[in-house]
Amino acid sequence: VLVVWSAGSSGLYDFISIPRARRLTAAPEHWPADVARFWIQAHRSLDDENWDAATLMARSALQVALREQGASGGTLKQEIDDLANRGLLPPVVKEWAHEVRDLGNDSAHPTPGTDPRTPADARDIVKFIDYMFVYLYNLPHEIATYRNRKTK
């Protein structure tokens, strides 16, 4: 915690306390470990302002999550389309998953002279995988928790 204060002739005049941002160390326990590992690295890369690394780790988190969900295909594009065609990804999630793939590809397979990822792109892509993992992991977990509680 950072504390800033001002003093007057009669002692302490005023102060404010600013909490220090905590470094992300874990994902929810019900997430697969491989998904959590890349997701944490994506967030830490954002914190460290490593924009290319953040988009690459977001892409990796996306791909391992899709594979964990049983996606098939020889490329990430095919894996996204496979889960969407089977109804496991709604159209808007499919569309944004391809955005993650495209931006991540630029960092995964760089070409000399390619512009680096922008902070806004990196933040948007990591935010997208946050939402996607709520859809893939948190919602099913919450539903299962509710159903277990309801049946007891």
Q: What pLDDT score does 8 carry?
A: 59
Within 10 angstroms of residue 40's Cβ, the number of other Cβ atoms is 17
Q: 121-150, pLDDT tens digit by residue?
A: 999 999 999 999 999 999 999 999 999 998
Instruction: Answer yes or no: are the C-beta atoms of 66 and 104 closer than 8 Å.
Output: no
pLDDT at 11 over 80: no
11: region left, alpha or beta (phi > 0 left; psi from -120 to 50 alpha):
left
Q: Could you tell me the CA-to-CA distances from 112 to 88, 106, 115 in Å, in that order?
A: 37, 11, 9
Give the model confidence (pLDDT) of 111-123 as tens digits: 898 888 899 999 9
Tokens of 14: 């005023």
Whole-model pTM? 0.81
